[in-house]
Structure 1
Amino acid sequence: MKLLFAFITAIVFFFQSNMEALRNSYAKANLSNANTEAFINLADDQSGNDAVTNGYKAAADIMRAKIAKKDRKAMVKTGATALESIIKSNPNNIELRLIRLSVQENIPKIVGYRGSIKDDKAFLINNYSKQNGALKSYVKKFAMQSKSFTEAEKATLK
């Protein structure tokens, strides 16, 4: 029984640390091309097949266009289609909404992938209080640097 508990605990901590690394890398990805590449590589190395991990992988596909020389439009389309599909299957997942909001905020307007910013922002604000501490911290950190949130909206995230 103790061995089973230790095994389950180890798996949970391993997944948790991978998710934290992925979140931290994603938060820094837009700061430089090197950070973008590091995030893409980390996302590619993830073996998880859960919705959030797949959401980060879709974001990595979109970000590939930032550093690619060819087929940039196809990369964005592939990643955006995947992200939309994941969110459609998991519409109440706050982290997926955060990923989409951050992608849409940072993608050039000419691309045209910006249709969910208001909905995702409202979703984050309305569901913030229901999240665990780590996710609250992640959402708040994102919102504080986001261009979409007003000062009053940022103040509601405690």
Structure 2
Amino acid sequence: MNNLSLADEKTKIQVRGLDFFYNGHRSLKSVDMTIPEKRITAIIGPSGCGKSTLLRVFNRIYSMYPKQEAKGEVILNGENILAPGYSMNRLRSHVGMVFQKPVPFPMSIYDNIAYAVRHHEKLSRREMEERVEEALRGAALWDEVKDKLKQSAQSLSG
């Protein structure tokens, strides 16, 4: 058994004075917390208290949506991930999310598939089109969406 106190452990994520706003409404207020490295941390509370919002701040997924803003500091490996110049590619290589119910980003079907590839590889338009088709075929969706690639991914059902 590990007898180290929390004060003795190395911090992985430090949250200081975090506020989060949806359309001007504050949903997180002055959150301060420390998440130690190499430990399991549970974030618990009643429905609607901000657990999922806090996790979305950790990988800044909110930044893809209008009128959502985080203020304060979230320090990951010694750097504030909320700082304007912090690389989203770098952040996403360290922090990912697995959703209970997957929700597409507010962009086209094509752009949802191409999003991660664009951030990690420089492909020609033709190569990207091939990669998107390959991914959709692999998910058995190509025949269903091949004529709808420019439509919003949020228009897809089930």
Q: Normalization by structure 2: what TM-score?
A: 0.26
Q: Which has the higher contact order (CA 8 A, sep 6+)?
A: 2
The structure whose residues are more often strand, as a share, is 2
Q: Rg bigger for which structure?
A: 2
